[in-house]
Structure 1
Amino acid sequence: MMQIQVGDTLPTVTLKYCVYDPALANACGVPVNLDVSSFKGKKVVIFGVPGAFTPTCNNQHLPEFYQKYDEFVKKGVDQIVCLSTGDPFVMDAWGKWTKTSDKIIMAADGNGEFVKATGLDQDLTKVGFGNLRSKRFALVADDLKVTYIGVETGPGVSVSGADAVLAAL
């Protein structure tokens, strides 16, 4: 699969997430579906990480998007989605740990349908993470059409970070 490009349409896949509920401090209720097609008519930022709680993802990537949430809203972003190939319970726990509240949807692509359909998957068997993980990326989709894509080719956060995405909006 070739990697998704500016001008391409997001794939019609279903992710899972736990609806933010402050009453469920340490648990997720029943995960619900997040159909990518629900982004029709919206401007959405989706950023993908190789793993929840991992150092770069936890200390740099996710916090930047949370800290700059209001700047994204001012630029017309309707939703920010953090995506990983883990499960919705881990993504929910990570969201609670990092206190993202309801500002960022912590979405699980457990079967890798989104990352495989967009060519944003990678094999991290060599580091013990398994053969189906998300690349570190960020994209902007406006009415399901990709208007920005930044995929990291090395360690760290640059083209997939909040500043790069804000500059592209």
Structure 2
Amino acid sequence: MPPLKPGDKFPENVVFDWVPIKNQDATLAGSPQDYNASSEFKNKKAVLVSVPGAFTPSCQAYHLPPYIDQFDKLKKQGVDLVVVIASNDGWVMSAWGKVNRIEGNDILLMGDTKSFFSKNHGWDAGMGDRNGRWAMVIEKDGTISYADNESDPSKVTVSGVDAVLKSLQK
């Protein structure tokens, strides 16, 4: 299946593996839940970001922290929600969120283990089961307005917060 592109509708039945962050202790794990992104994104402007893996060098140093640091700028551009996915399970993604001091429901970290979204609708990294490094913006009506994939998954350019912010200002 070809990757989703601007102008496409976000597909139905996209489910991620989510462990909500209820405390900041990375050693205390909550219960995993299904997160139906297709229904949860309805009437929200969402940024969906895919990374090869939680705690990996580029993801930790250059990809996730700028989204956290610049969420207020995204919000000013109408973004309601940022969801970061990786091939890790929900527990690992929750621990990664706790280590990065994520709180609330504006930035959610989830495992792409339920629907294999990255492989079926986005881009994989070409590194076995790992997700690719990409970003897309889903508008409130479900239309994708931005979608781009890193040609080199070790780099953060078109999938980084600066590229997404630039796309929102058009």
What is the TM-score when the length of structure 1 is the normalising length? 0.90
| Per-residue Cα deviation, 1:42-90 (whole angstroms, up to 9, x for no partner) | 1000110001100000001000100001111111101000100110010
The equivalent residue for 1:32 is 33
Shift in Å at residue 141 of structure 1? 0.3
* Residue 149 (str. 1) matches residue 147 (str. 2): yes
Superposed CA RMSD:
1.5
Q: Whole-Å Cα distance in 2 between the matches of residues 34 and 134 of structure 1?
A: 18
* Residue 55 (str. 1) matches residue 57 (str. 2): yes
Aligned length: 163
More deviation in 84-93 or 110-119?
A: 110-119
Q: Residue 62 of structure 1: SS of its match in structure 2?
A: helix
Shift in Å at residue 132 of structure 1? 1.8
Quick check: 1:15–1:33 contact (8 Å CA) kept in 2? yes
Which amino acid is 2:155 matched to? G
* Residue 6 (str. 1) matches residue 13 (str. 2): no
Q: 2:133 aligns with which of 126, 132, 136?
A: 136
Quick check: 1:91–1:108 contact (8 Å CA) kept in 2? yes
Q: Which runs of 4+ in 1 moved over 4 A?
A: none
User: Which structure shows the higher strand fraction?
Assistant: 1
Q: Residue 95 of structure 1: SS of its match in structure 2?
A: helix
Structure 1, unmatched stretches of 5+, are 125-130
Structure 2, unmatched stretches of 5+, are none
Q: 1:104 aligns with which of 104, 107, 125?
A: 107
The equivalent residue for 1:45 is 47
| Per-residue Cα deviation, 1:99-149 (whole angstroms, up to 9, x for no partner) | 12224100111145211221412331xxxxxx2221100110003211001
Q: Whole-Å Cα distance in 2 between the matches of residues 23 and 3 of structure 1?
A: 35
Quick check: 1:49–1:57 contact (8 Å CA) kept in 2? yes
Shift in Å at residue 11 of structure 1? 2.2
The alpha-carbon distance between structure 1 residues 163 and 119, as it changes in their structure 2 partners (threshold 3 A), is closer
The equivalent residue for 2:157 is 158
Q: Residue 134 of structure 1: SS of its match in structure 2?
A: coil
Quick check: 1:10–1:141 contact (8 Å CA) kept in 2? yes
* Residue 121 (str. 1) matches residue 124 (str. 2): yes
What is the TM-score when the length of structure 2 is the normalising length? 0.89
More deviation in 23-32 or 87-96?
A: 23-32
Quick check: 2:15–2:115 contact (8 Å CA) kept in 1? no
The alpha-carbon distance between structure 1 residues 150 and 140, as it changes in their structure 2 partners (threshold 3 A), is same
